Amino acid sequence: MKLFRFGERGREEPGILAADGTLRSLVGVIPDIDGAALSPEALEVLRGTDTAALPPVPEGARIGPCVGGVGKLIGIGLNYSDHAEESGLPIPKEPIVFLKANTSIAGPYDEVVLPPDAKKADWEVELAFVIGTRAKHVAEADAMAHVAGYCIVNDISERAWQAEREGQWTKGKSYDGFAPMGPWLVTADEIADPGNLRMTCDVSGDRRQDGSTSTMIFGVATLVSYLSQFMTLEPGDVVTTGTPPGVGLGMRPQVWLKDGDVMRLEVAGLGHQEQAVRVAAP
């Protein structure tokens, strides 16, 4: 299934992509696409829904982030061997973990407004997974049973804030709108191998990233198990798993997002995103 959310920011409603390709509303069926809707039992009920009988989503409705009520948005850094190489950094021995503030979550087609003092804003196409059942001290062999599905996240980063100021990466990752999410939450049964998905990102028509999840250092099962040793993963939590090479940081000379740029991101089987960039006035 491909689930999504639509409507005004902060007032999104649940939807589902019908078999005929139309967007259908799940209002009255479930309250939201959130942790409560993502358990195996709840998803099985949705699979039995007659989507043809559901009302269509109003034409022109905004598509919001595909998961609501996210408790934790967790990022994994330097998780692609070829991205670590372009960054001139060693392969991590363990996953590098950071948090992105939930206020960074945005819709997949929302405008990205950069802060006026942004110096090195960067793009990152990423595969994210969404937790469906509570995970605590989970063995790697059991980890995939806790994943409800997958989506695209653009892990937008202000590199000067991330790496050139003291403290943790979180502040360079958490500005409002720095985590466009969606359009779809694609249930896990539709993604046969999350470790073999092509990923691309174009910036203003130029192909910047063209990679594959096959170069991930730590796969989805490893990440679920690893994270669950340090924190309880709750239904609706989102983990975004890192990016392939081609980010602005790795280019020579380096290239950063600027006013008027348009980012287009795609991951095989998960749809695409597109965001126009605007720099806020001082």
Digit-coded pLDDT (tens) for 9-35: 999 999 999 999 999 999 999 999 999
Q: Give the Cα separation of 118 and 135 in Å (integer).
A: 37
Residues in Cβ contact with 258 at an 8 Å cutoff, skipping those fewer than 6 apart: 277, 279
> Is residue 89 predicted with pLDDT exceeding 80?
no
Q: What is the pLDDT of residues 194-211, one digit of tens each?
A: 999 999 999 999 999 999
Q: Whole-prediction pTM value?
A: 0.96
β-strands 112-114, 271-279: how paired?
A: parallel
> Is residue 137 predicted with pLDDT exceeding 80?
yes
β-strands 73-77, 147-154: how paired?
A: unpaired
> Is residue 88 predicted with pLDDT exceeding 90?
no
How confident is residue 90, by pLDDT bands cut at 50, 70 and 90?
confident
How confident is residue 86, by pLDDT bands cut at 50, 70 and 90?
confident
Q: Tokens 């409603």 appear where?
A: 13
| Nearest Cα residue to 249 out of 79, 77, 82, 83 | 83
Q: What residue ranges define each of the domains in the chain, with the CATH number in brackets?
A: 68-279 (3.90.850.10)
pLDDT of residue 83: 79
Query: Helix, strand or coil for residue 25?
Result: strand
Q: Which two tokens stand for residue 178?
A: 């720095």
